[in-house]
Amino acid sequence: MIHPLAWLIWLAAELAVLSATRNPLYLASAIACTAIVLLRLRGRVVDAPTVPLSPLRFGLVVLPLAALFNALTVHMGRTVLLRLPTPLPLLGGPITLEALTFGALNGLALTGIYAAFIVLNYAVAVRALVGLIPRAFFPVAVVTSIALTFVPVTLRHWRQIRNAQAIRGHRIRGLHDWLPLFLPLLIGGLEHAFQLAEAMTARGFAGAAETVPMRRARTVIAAGLLTLLAGWVLWLAWQQRAIGIPLMALGGGMVVASLWWLGRQVPRTTYRPTHWYPRDTVIALASGTAAAAFLVAWPGWDRSSIFFYPYPALASPGFSGWIALALGGLLVPALLIPPTRYLSLFQSAWANRAILKRDASVQEGQAVTGSPSGIATVAMYPSEAAYPSTPTGEPR
C-alpha cells in the first residue's frame, strides 16, 4: 500500500496545479493524470467506498453551468456571440466567447479538484488518515476512531427509530415532529457511549494523568504557535523579513519539538504501522516537482505558458514541454500501484517469510522479545506458579 502521507502530498500537488493554471492544455493533462490514477485504483480497492457522484458526471454538470454563469455575468472580451438587452440587470450586455471559455476552464479545474478528492477517497481509508495524527494528540486520535465507528451504528439506529415512530402513527408534518426522532437517537447515543466507556475500562484503557512536564510542553506549543504568528505578521504586514522569518522558524521549531517530546511520553505501540517505502518517496518527489513547476519562479524557468488568460481576445494557449514533463509527476502513483494479483502473492510470500523466521528463532531457543511470557509455543495460560499470587490479595 502507498503511504497515506504520500497520497496527501499528491493531493496537495494536484490542488496546487489545478488552482495555479487556467491553461486548458495543462488542465486537461492534470485531469488525464487524475483519471488514469483513478482507473488504476478502482479495480483493486477491496472495500470500495461509495462515491456520491462520478467525476465524469460532475464534470458534465459543472462545466456547462460554470461556462454559462461566467458568460452571463462577465461581459468582457472581443468575440461577441450575441447581445442580451441591456435593461436586464447583471445579465444584460454582450455574451462573449472569451467569457464562455474562461467559465468552462474554471469548471474544468473544479472537476479536476473533485476527481482528485475522489482518488483520495479510494486510495486512503479515513482510518489511515486518523493514523497520521501525531502521537502527542493520541487521545484525539482515539476519539476520532471511535467517532468513525459510531457513524454507521448511528445511521442504523436512526433508520430503526424512524421505522419505530412510523409504527406508532408518527407523521412528520412540521419541525416539531422531528423531536420524537432525535430524542431516542440522542438517548441511544448516550447509552452507547456509556457502554463503550465501560467496555474500554474493562480492557484496561485509562486516560493517563497529565504530568507537570507534559503541561509545560503544552504551554511551549502555545508559545510556539504565537511566535510563529508574530513572525508571520511581522513579515507580511511590516515587511520585516530579517526578524519575521527567524521568528517563524523558532516558533515552528518549538511546536515540532514539543510535539515530538509529548509523543514520546505516550506509552503506546502500533500493531500495524504504515511503512514509508522508497516508492512513497518517489511519489512525494514527483508530486512536489509538478507543484513546484507551477508555483515557484525558478530563475531561467519560462512560466509564461502557465498564465493563460482568454481576455480580451481568445488566443491559442502556450505550451512548454518541460512543464508538461513535470506535470507527468502526478501520474507516478498510477505506475506504482501494484496490480492486485501480484500484490496478494507478494503479501502471502512476505507473511510466510515472517513465520519461517519466527519459527527458526524459536527453535534456536531465542525469545523474540524480552517478554517473560514468551511466544506462541509457551502455554497460553500459565499456571498459578507463573504469576506468583500476592498473599495480600486473599481475604483472611
Partner 1 sequence: MIIFRDVSYTYPGAARPALRHVDFHLPEASFALVVGRSGAGKSTLLRCVNGLVPHFSGGTFAGRLAVAGLDPLYATPRAMSRRVGFVFQNPEAQFVLDRVEDEIAFALENAAMPRQEMRVRVEEVLDLLDLAALRERKLETLSGGERQRVAIAAALAFRPRVLVLDEPTSQLDPQSAEDVLNALVRLNHDLGLTILLAEHRLERVLQYADRVIALPDSPDGENGVLCGTTREVLPQLKLLPPLVALAKQLNWQPLPLTTKEGLHFSRALTEHILPVLPVAASPRYGAVGLALQRVWVCYDRQPVLRDVSLEVRRGEILVLMGRNGSGKTTLLKTLVGLVRPESGRVWVDGREVTGEDVATICRRAGYLPQEADTLLFADTVRQELEITLRNHGLPEHDEAIESLLAQLGLTAHAGRYPRDLSVGERQRAALGAITVTQPVALLLDEPTRGLDYTAKEALSALLRHWRDAGMAILVVTHDVEFAARTADRVVLISQGELIAEGVPAKVMGASPLFAPQIARLFPGRGWLTVEEALRGLGVV
Q: Which residues bind partner 1 (CB under 8 A)?
A: 46-47, 127, 142, 145-146, 148-149, 152-153, 157, 160-161, 163-171, 180, 183-184, 187-188, 191-192, 195-206, 267-273, 358, 368-371, 373, 375-376, 380-381, 384, 387-390, 392-395
Q: For residues 304 and 371, which CB has a smaller minimum distance to partner 1 in the complex?
A: 371
**Cell numbers that stand for 130 in this block:** 486518523
8 A C-beta contact, residue 341 and residue 312: no
Sorted by sequence, the CB contacts under 8 Å of residue 326 that are 6+ apart come out as: 289, 290, 292, 293, 294
What minimum distance in Å lies between the beta carbon of 266 and partner 1? 9
Question: Which residue's CB is nearer to partner 1, number 87 or number 273?
Answer: 273
In terms of CB distance, is 44 or 303 closer to partner 1?
44
Q: What distance in Å separates the CA atoms of residue 330 and residue 289, rounded to the nearest whole number?
A: 9
Helix, strand, or coil here: 204?
coil
Residues 6+ apart with CB under 8 A from 304: 318
- Select 235 or 277, whichever has its Cβ closest to partner 1: 277
Minimum CB separation of residue 233 from partner 1 in Å reads 41
Which region holds residue 320: left if phi is over 0, alpha if psi is between -120 and 50, else beta? beta
* Contact between 97 and 314 (Cβ < 8 Å): yes
C-alpha cell at 179: 423531536
Task: Tell the smallest beta-carbon distance from residue 201 to partner 1 (Å).
Answer: 5
Q: Which is nearer to partner 1, 82 or 175 (by Cβ)? A: 175
What cell numbers appear for 163 in the block?
421505522
User: Which phi and psi angles does 59 have, rounded to 5°?
Assistant: -60, -45
Smallest separation (angstroms) from partner 1 to the CB of 78? 55
